[in-house]
Amino acid sequence: MLLSVQDIHKTYQTADGPFEVLRGVDLTLAAGETLALTGESGSGKSTLLHLIGGLDASDRGQIWLQGQDIAALDDNGRAALRRGTVGVVFQQFNLIPSLKVADNIAFQARLSEQYDPKWAAELADRMGLGPHLNKYPEQLSGGQQQRVAIARTLAPKPRLVLADEPTGNLDETTAATVMDLMLELVSEAGAGLLMVTHSAALAGRMSRRLHLRAGQVA
């Protein structure tokens, strides 16, 4: 089992008092498996993804990734996890504006000391970014920037890929191509893919689907 989430709770303080976003969520994901996480806005999908990615800490529960409890890690431990083991595709591009496309793609892999120039070049080519490698993010369209962000996430060949609406800014044809590549990575590397999506078509391409409603598995 690659990922096991057990009884995860998360509460945020708001102007109206405590708001419990997640109320005892459980899920599992095997190596090589893909899972779509669906639910209405505010159901806790993105919060759960951030907890699994080590971007935030839960209030209660355990998140086991390859036998390690992410929930027990400190900030440095979670940062180390994100450098190589877990890759996250955000809704926002979060590209580095001062770096050219080629360097943005390579950035995460170099941090984790897993940079493979041949794989980075293949990613760029298959994402249709070959002609844009010497450009800066501001010179690209929104869809092109999203493809750079996805390529950057896949460059270190992470064991677990977390994606929050990864093709939301892409046209239908490009979205299908990107999903093909992400699914190939899962298959070839034995990684797992957990994707938040509102698209029934994308969810239907995953091995399983999990629906959240009001912070719980429906």
Mean pLDDT for the stretch of residues 111-120: 92
Judged by average pLDDT, the poorest of 91-95, 119-123, 194-198 is 91-95
Looking at the whole model, is its pTM more than 0.95? Answer: no
Of 61-65, 73-77, 137-141, 150-154, least confident by mean pLDDT is: 73-77
> What is the residue-averaged pLDDT of the chain?
90
SS (H, E, C) the chain: CCEEEEEEEEEEEECCEEEEEEEEEEEEECCCCEEEEEECCCCCHHHHHHHHCCCCCCCEEEEEECCEEHHHCCHHHHHHHHHHCEEEECCCCCCCCCCCHHHHHHHHHHHCCCCCHHHHHHHHHHCCCHHHCCCCHHHCCHHHHHHHHHHHHHCCCCCEEEEECCCCCCCHHHHHHHHHHHHHHHHHHCCEEEEECCCHHHHCCCCEEEEEECCEEC
Instruction: Provide the residue ranges of all domains of the chain, joining segments of one domain with +.
Output: 33-57+73-217
84 pLDDT more than 80: no
**Portion of the chain with pLDDT greater than 70, in percent:** 100
Task: Give the mean pLDDT of 136-163.
Answer: 91
The pLDDT value recorded for residue 171 is: 79
Over the stretch 5-42, which tens digit does the pLDDT of each residue have? 999 999 999 999 999 999 999 999 998 899 999 999 88
Instruction: Indicate whether 148 pLDDT > 80.
Output: yes
Q: Using 50, 70 and 90 to split pLDDT, how confident is the model at 104? A: very high
CATH architecture, domain 33-57+73-217? 3-Layer(aba) Sandwich (3.40)
